[in-house]
Amino acid sequence: MNELLRLNNLRKVFPIRPSASEPAHELVAVDDVSFSLAPGGSLAVVGESGSGKTTVARMVAGLETPTSGHIALNGKGRTAAHAGQRARKAQARDIQMVFQDPYTSLDPKQTVEAAIDEILRAHFAWEAGRRQKRVAQLLDQVGLDQRQAAARPRALSGGQRQRAAIARALALEPRLLILDEAVAALDVSVQAQIINLLADLRTETGVAFLFISHDLGVVRQVSDDCVVMHRGRVVEAGSTTAILDNPQDDYTRTLLSALPRPGWVPRRRNVPEDAAPPIGNAQDAPISR
C-alpha cells in the first residue's frame, strides 16, 4: 500500500523530577506505537486525556523528538525537533497542525489576512499581488468573508477563529494536516460546520488528516481508520466503522459506553418553559464592532 506517513515502534519518555530533593524518574508517554496513513486518507488517534495521543501528534509534527522509533513521510525520515531553520521550513511545507484553541495559535495583533500573508512571505518569493490572490482563495475555501479577513482574532467567534487557523495551515499546501482536538471546544452546531468544511477541503485538496480526539462520535464522521490508545500504547486499530461497530478491546468498549444514547437527556439549568430560544448561533455568529 502506498503510504504517506509511517510510524514504527515510536516511544517517548519524559524525565520527571517532583522536587530537587527527590530522585528523577521516567514517564513513558508513548510506548511502541506503530501505524500508517495513506495519501489523502483520514486517520483518527483516539483516547482519553493522558493516553499519549497528543504526544504522538507532536512528534509527527516535529515539535517533540522521539526517544526511539522511526517516523517517515513518503518514505523519508522526519527531521528532529531541534533541526536547523531550513529543515524546519521544509518540514512545515509537508505537515501543518491545527490546535484545539485557535486563539492561542493566532497572533492577537494580526488580522486574519495578515497572518496568512505572513506564512506565504516566509515560504515563497511571491509578489504582493500573487499573495493577495492566494489569501483570498484560502479565505473563500474556509468560508470567511472580507470583513472577517480584516478582523483580529478577538473580534471573531470560536468557529470563525478555527476557520482562520485552518486557512493558515492550508496556505503551504501540506500533504498532511494534524488536527489536535480541533472541534472539541466548539458548540455542537459549529462542530458540524467545521467537520463538513474539513470533508470538503479533503476532497478539494487531497490533503490527508491525522485527527486527534477523545470523542468517538466525531471520529466516526471524520476518519476512515482509527487507532485507539490507552496509557501510551495502541490497544486497537483498524477501520473506524469496524472498531466503533464491533470493538474488540475492553477500553474501546468503555469509551463507547460513555457516548450519549438515544433518549439520553443532559442535565439542564432551570430555564422557564416559555423562554425564547436563542436566535442563530452565538458561537459562529458574524463579528460585531
> What pLDDT shows up at residue 20?
73
CB of 177 closer than 8 Å to CB of 169 = yes
Output the nine-digit C-alpha cell for 177: 494536516
Output the nine-digit C-alpha cell for 272: 422557564
Looking at per-residue pLDDT, the higher value among 186 and 19 belongs to 186
pLDDT band for position 81 (cuts 50, 70, 90)? low
Residue with the three cell numbers 466548539: 186
* Domains of the chain, start order: 5-257 (3.40.50.300)
> What pLDDT shows up at residue 10?
96
To the nearest whole number, what is the mean pLDDT of the chain?
85
For residues 111 and 264, give the distance between their C-alpha atoms in angstroms, rounded to a whole number. 42
> What pLDDT shows up at residue 277?
37
Output the nine-digit C-alpha cell for 70: 522511526
Judge whether residue 288 has pLDDT over 90.
Answer: no
Tens-digit pLDDT profile for residues 37-68: 999 999 999 999 999 999 999 999 988 999 99
Q: In which element (H, E) is residue 282 found?
A: none
> What pLDDT shows up at residue 263?
45
For residues 288 and 29, give the distance between their C-alpha atoms in angstroms, rounded to a whole number. 43
> What pLDDT shows up at residue 278?
37
> What pLDDT shows up at residue 283?
40
Tens-digit pLDDT profile for residues 60-70: 998 899 999 99
Output the nine-digit C-alpha cell for 126: 511571491
Who contacts 68 (Cβ-Cβ below 8 Å, separation ≥6)? Answer: 9, 10, 11
Output the nine-digit C-alpha cell for 190: 459549529
